[in-house]
């Protein structure tokens, strides 16, 4: 755990400096999207390694996967449990979740095979 914490702290420090703008005066920042970006990169450094976690395709899929899951969940919960297996095919966000999973699998397969 201490090895992971040290890597995570280093990656967070590096990412925050890169993502947040330097300024001498007040600068507005969209907190939600900035936090998603920082979190995706930092957690990616733990799950897929720091040489991979900054790839644009990975970061985009990681962020959008999370957003789509949180958007789809309440939509799916509106349906009775018996109809959810059918309704899942009509919720756009769940289709995109499957697409994000395919994209990340395509990105990771060569890395996993190499390791």
HSE, side-chain direction, 13 A CA sphere, residue 81: 0
Contacts of 8 (CB under 8 A, 6+ apart): 42, 45, 46
Would you kindly state where each structural domain of the chain is located, as residue ranges? 1-53, 55-115
Per-residue pLDDT of the chain (115 residues), as tens digits, is 677 788 888 888 888 888 887 888 887 888 888 889 888 888 888 887 767 788 889 899 999 999 999 999 999 999 999 999 998 899 999 999 999 999 999 988 888 888 7
Q: What is the pTM assigned to this prediction?
A: 0.78
Q: How far apart are CA 76 and CA 72, in angstroms?
A: 6
């Amino acid at each position: 755990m201490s090895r992971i914490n040290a890597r995570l702290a280093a990656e967070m420090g590096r990412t925050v400096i890169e993502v947040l703008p330097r300024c001498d005066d007040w600068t507005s920042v969209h907190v939600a999207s900035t936090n998603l970006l920082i979190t995706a990169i930092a957690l990616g450094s733990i799950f897929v390694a720091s040489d991979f976690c900054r790839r644009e395709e990975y970061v985009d899929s990681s962020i959008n996967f999370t957003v789509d899951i949180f958007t789809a969940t309440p939509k799916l919960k509106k349906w009775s449990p018996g109809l959810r297996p059918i309704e899942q095919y009509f919720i756009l966000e769940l289709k995109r979740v499957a697409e994000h999973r395919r994209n990340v699998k395509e990105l990771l397969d060569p890395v996993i095979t190499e390791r």
